[in-house]
Amino acid sequence: MRLRKVVAALGASAALTSGMVLGTGSASADSGCPNLYVVAIPGTWETGHEKKPQPGMLSGVTNNMPGSAEVNYVNYAATAFPWEGDVYAQSKREAVDNARGMVLNMVSRCGNTKVAILGYSQGADAAGDLAAEIGTGVSAIRPERVAAVGLISDPRRSPTDAQVGPPAPGAGASGPRIGGFGWVSDRVRTICDSDDLYCSTSEDDFVTRFAGFAAQSSDLNPANLWRYQLELGAITNDLFAHGGIPTLQSQLTDSANQQRAKDLEHFYKSQAHTLYGSYPVGGGQTAVSWMHNWIAGQI
């Protein structure tokens, strides 16, 4: 009789463990499991190794979420230039790694919790990369666990991404992600002000496109060589379709550089990159309020 009780107890324990680890148990198995887990990645300089994650632009998105949602911000270097310590690609990779770890921890603990991934600027770059990783099946996180992916000023925006608000021309300065978002494409929404050069670069602005590629590949990872080759090939193919080397040379003349400087000055003065809290997307909503309502609606 005692042996039967021990076997029964072990069987019950194994069943519970299996349900929690494999994600087949209910969220109610752990009273700390939210219905929706929101992982938010701030933009450049909004967080860093020496300070706590700052909500920044995303505060209007994540504030006042329903009680059944849990929100966590990702801490990472959030730098862009070599003299800041981490080059852009190294900083972004840290953001992706940290966000992935947070999501994995939640989905392994809470079998029914859905996940929303949110990012702004460099944070949108990282959030989009994580979503693409999940959607194309190269992540331990299954696509069906993702309820929403919200990207504001994504430097890797593709013309085929589902845009909210007035459609921005071109693509992100760093070029679209190879392979796109795969199985989570229908759950991705991106917002880009057409005056924001980070997420809206003309297809034939090859100087900016090569600069964006240089930023993305500034922390060379041998495992990603295939991706670098495809991305560089896409820019090169477009260049030759638009006239080849003479076209690039024409964009590097003194007059072209002077015009680019004027365009950048206009961009910085417009503050388009920092005004998404007031950027209208229709229906009386701003980019931030729309994203808040959409994320909250996933619960």
| 20-24, 85-89, 106-110, 272-276: least confidently modelled range | 20-24
Whether 296 shows a pLDDT value over 90: the answer reads yes
Has residue 221 been placed in a domain? no
Confidence band, pLDDT 50/70/90 cuts, at residue 26: very low
More confident residue, 259 or 28: 259
Based on the structure, what is the number of domains in the chain? 1
Cβ-contact 188, 162 below 8 angstroms? yes
Whether 211 shows a pLDDT value over 90: the answer reads no
Has residue 36 been placed in a domain? yes
Give me the CATH number covering residue 99. 3.40.50.1820
Opening angle at CA 53, ends 294 and 286, nearest 5: 30
In sequence order, which residues have a C-beta less than 8 Å from that of residue 1 and are 6 or more positions away? none
Whether 272 shows a pLDDT value over 50: the answer reads yes
Pairing state of beta strands 285-286 and 280-282?
A: antiparallel
Which pLDDT score, from 0 to 100, does residue 1 have?
39
- Element containing residue 105 per DSSP (H, E): helix 88-109
Which pLDDT score, from 0 to 100, does residue 7 have?
32
Cβ-contact 263, 256 below 8 angstroms? no
Has residue 206 been placed in a domain? no
Which pLDDT score, from 0 to 100, does residue 31 have?
67
Q: Give CA–CA dist 3/10, Å, rounded.
A: 11
DSSP for residue 168: P
Whether 217 shows a pLDDT value over 70: the answer reads yes
Whether 5 shows a pLDDT value over 60: the answer reads no
Whether 226 shows a pLDDT value over 80: the answer reads no
Has residue 33 been placed in a domain? yes
Has residue 178 been placed in a domain? yes
What range does the domain containing 197 cover?
Answer: 24-201+271-296
Whether 146 shows a pLDDT value over 70: the answer reads yes
Has residue 75 been placed in a domain? yes
Q: Give CA–CA dist 110/37, Å, rounded.
A: 10
Helical pair 88-109 and 2-21, crossing angle rounded to 10 deg: 140
pLDDT digits (tens, 9 = 90+) for 153-206: 999 999 999 999 999 999 999 999 989 999 999 999 999 999 999 999 988 888
Q: Give CA–CA dist 212/298, Å, rounded.
A: 33
Where b means 16+ CB within 10 Å and e means fewer, 40-50 reads bbbbbebbbee
More confident residue, 10 or 174: 174
Has residue 262 been placed in a domain? no
Has residue 223 been placed in a domain? no
Q: Give CA–CA dist 194/191, Å, rounded.
A: 10
More confident residue, 284 or 27: 284
More confident residue, 228 or 160: 160
Q: Give CA–CA dist 218/77, Å, rounded.
A: 15
pLDDT digits (tens, 9 = 90+) for 42-62: 998 888 877 666 678 999 999
